[in-house]
């Protein structure tokens, strides 16, 4: 597939979240260790405040970028997207809240995978400006239908 | 790297970064019980070992570890294998 992928119906199949809680609307890049995804922050986004995307929105966008990595990798294997959980968030720093009408982009990189836990480094930008960073640990729910 | 140095570095980050009581660490103490880490913490331990010693531990490596002594020996072996 060619990037970016902006078919929102397709992207929704890759993550467990549902409207109005979809916080990614484009898949910009993917490989085994890395993903980049974006979101146009609209005024009617449930996690927007009067003029800005909230802290919660940024964190959820980060988390869904990671979910998209899992979902797309399962899609490439011909499997449905699994349910996953954020196990922990650490070193979260938010420098700026993006204005509504802007596109935020998060890049998530796998730092380590161990015992079913994945540690990822996430950097969120508006344009070239870094607005937030975090490390997140994710766990995929055990499901025999997704096992090899 | 000598084993003594490995022990010093490991014990150092266990106390400083993983808040393990240094008095509970000994060669024959049970690693899992003493550390009291949950599954989310182990990924941090693996990252810390890799950043300190340049060696990567896998799930299978931890299966054979019971005591701190086993843990130090494993790291020492991994470092020698890398060299």
Kindly state whether residue A3 falls inside one of the protein's structural domains.
no
Q: Tell me what the mean pLDDT of segment B63-83 comes to.
A: 94
CB-based contacts of B40, cutoff 8 Å, min separation 6: A87, A88, A117, A137, A139
Q: What is the DSSP letter of B82?
A: H
Per-domain residue ranges of chain B: 3-82
Q: How far is B25 from chain A (nearest CA, A)?
A: 24
> Average pLDDT, stretch B43-53?
94
Kindly determine whether residue B39 and residue A115, on different chains, have CB atoms separated by under 8 Å: yes
Q: Share the mean pLDDT of chain B.
A: 93
pLDDT of residue A52: 97
Mean pLDDT of B50-61: 93
Query: Does B39 contact A119 at a Cβ distance shorter than 8 Å?
Result: no
For position A95, what pLDDT does the model report?
98
Q: What is the pTM of this model?
A: 0.86
Q: Is residue A2 a part of any domain in this protein?
A: no
Q: Say which residues have a Cβ less than 8 Å from residue A15's Cβ, sequence separation at least 6.
A: A22, A24, A64, A67, A68, A71, A81
The CATH classification number of B3-82 equals 1.10.1200.10
Which structural domain range is residue A18 located in?
Answer: 8-142
Domain-located, residue A1? no
Count: domains in chain A: 1
Give CA–CA dist B52/A90, Å, rounded. 20
Judged by a CB distance cut-off of 8 A, whether residue A141 touches chain B is no
Q: Which residues of chain A have pLDDT under 70?
A: 142-148
Identify the three-state secondary structure at position A79.
coil
CATH assignment at residue A64: 3.10.129.10
Query: B38 catalytic, yes or no?
Result: yes
């Amino acid at each position: 597939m060619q990037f970016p992928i902006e078919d929102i119906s397709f992207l929704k199949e890759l993550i467990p979240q549902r409207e109005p809680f979809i916080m990614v609307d484009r898949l910009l890049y993917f490989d085994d260790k890395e993903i980049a995804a974006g979101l146009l922050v609209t005024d009617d986004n449930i996690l927007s405040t009067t003029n800005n995307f909230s802290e919660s929105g940024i964190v959820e966008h980060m988390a869904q970028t990671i979910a998209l990595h899992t979902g797309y990798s399962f899609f490439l294997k011909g499997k449905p997207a699994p349910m996953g959980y954020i196990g922990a968030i650490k070193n979260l720093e938010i420098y700026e809240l993006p204005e509504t009408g802007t596109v935020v982009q998060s890049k998530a990189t796998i730092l380590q995978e161990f015992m079913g836990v994945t540690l990822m480094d996430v950097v969120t930008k508006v344009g070239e400006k870094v607005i937030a960073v975090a490390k997140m640990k994710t766990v995929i729910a055990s499901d025999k239908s997704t096992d090899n | 790297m000598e084993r003594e140095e490995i022990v010093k570095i490991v014990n150092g980050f266990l106390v400083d970064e993983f808040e393990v009581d240094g008095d509970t660490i000994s060669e024959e103490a049970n690693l899992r019980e003493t550390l009291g880490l949950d599954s989310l913490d182990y990924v941090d331990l693996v990252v810390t070992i890799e950043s300190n010693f340049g060696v990567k531990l896998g799930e299978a490596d931890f299966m054979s570890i019971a005591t701190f002594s086993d843990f130090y020996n494993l790291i020492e072996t991994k470092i020698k294998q890398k060299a």
